[in-house]
């Protein structure tokens, strides 16, 4: 019987036992996605109001960095799931938990792809270019005498234009990454579907085997009852003790044969 000291040791061991790395990273990804969506809402408002402002540029950079970090974390999670699938005998993770982990990755990547698509969409790039050109034209039309900070404003305009150009140049690369992400998403969905089909087939097979076993048990029970009934009839007809012993031995042998047939 476990003593209080043993219970305390067991409690301490459970407290210092390391957490599942997947669950740790999953919590970090959930927090990161919440922060990314908050930035995403701010980014959309700034895009509608003044996409050439410094606030917009800062928010865009922060949002892009957040999306990139989440992409790396999701890739780590996908790699960990792949390791578990390839070495099922080494892990105590059942099919239900494995499917839940894949579902989390799929849903997280859907949110990530949505943000990345809006960040690098042709519509966003076009609005940036249009607003930048409009701002440049407006400043050029203003009287030079009223512009006391022409040099500073020119530098700001050049910085804005450089930012826009960098965004446009990065579009092609990010589109390629998005294509890869969509391919991974498609592969993950196919894997989950295949696992569901395998589990369904396995359950159907087990149900069939259980049904067959039940039928065999019912048949055997009927045979045993019939044999016992005949033995009782013979006992009623005779008082010879030797004959009774022979009958009992035969019944035992018959029962042993039937049971052996069932479990072979």
- What is the model's pLDDT at position 145? 44
Residue predicted with more confidence, 168 or 239: 168
Q: Rounded to 10 degrees, what is the CA torsion of 180, 35, 46, 53?
A: -90
16 has a pLDDT exceeding 50? no
Give the pLDDT band of residue 70 (cuts 50, 70, 90): very high
- For 120-143, write each residue's pLDDT tens digit: 888 777 777 777 776 677 666 555
- What is the model's pLDDT at position 11? 47
- What is the model's pLDDT at position 142? 54
Lowest mean pLDDT among 4-8, 98-102, 153-157: 4-8
Quick one: what percent of the chain has pLDDT higher than 70?
Answer: 76
Residue range 226-234: average pLDDT?
71
Residue range 177-189: average pLDDT?
77
- What is the model's pLDDT at position 1? 47
34 has a pLDDT exceeding 50? yes
- What is the model's pLDDT at position 108? 92
């Amino acid at each position: 019987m476990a003593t209080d000291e043993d219970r305390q040791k067991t409690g301490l061991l459970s407290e210092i036992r390391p957490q599942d790395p997947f669950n740790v990273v999953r919590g970090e990804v959930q927090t990161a996605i919440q922060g990314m969506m908050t930035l995403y809402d701010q980014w959309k408002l700034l895009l509608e109001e003044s996409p050439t402002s410094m606030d917009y540029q800062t928010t865009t950079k922060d949002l892009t960095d957040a999306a990139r970090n989440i992409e790396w974390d999701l890739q780590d999670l996908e790699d960990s799931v792949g390791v578990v699938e390839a070495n099922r005998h080494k892990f105590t993770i059942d099919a239900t938990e494995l499917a839940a982990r894949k579902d989390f990755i799929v849903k997280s990547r859907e949110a990530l792809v949505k943000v990345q698509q809006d960040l690098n969409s042709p519509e966003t790039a076009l609005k940036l270019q249009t607003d930048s050109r409009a701002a440049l034209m407006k400043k050029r039309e203003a009287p030079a005498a009223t512009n006391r900070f022409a040099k500073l404003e020119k530098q700001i305009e050049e910085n804005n234009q450089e930012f826009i150009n960098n965004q446009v140049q990065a579009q092609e690369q990010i589109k390629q990454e998005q294509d890869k992400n969509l391919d991974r998403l498609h592969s993950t969905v196919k894997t989950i579907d295949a696992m569901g089909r395998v589990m369904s087939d396995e359950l159907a097979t087990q149900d069939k085997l259980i049904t067959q076993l039940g039928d065999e048990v019912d048949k055997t029970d009927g045979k045993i009852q019939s044999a016992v009934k005949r033995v009782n009839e013979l006992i009623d007809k005779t008082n010879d003790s030797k004959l009774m012993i022979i009958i009992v031995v035969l019944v035992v042998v018959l029962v042993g044969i039937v049971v052996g047939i069932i479990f072979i």
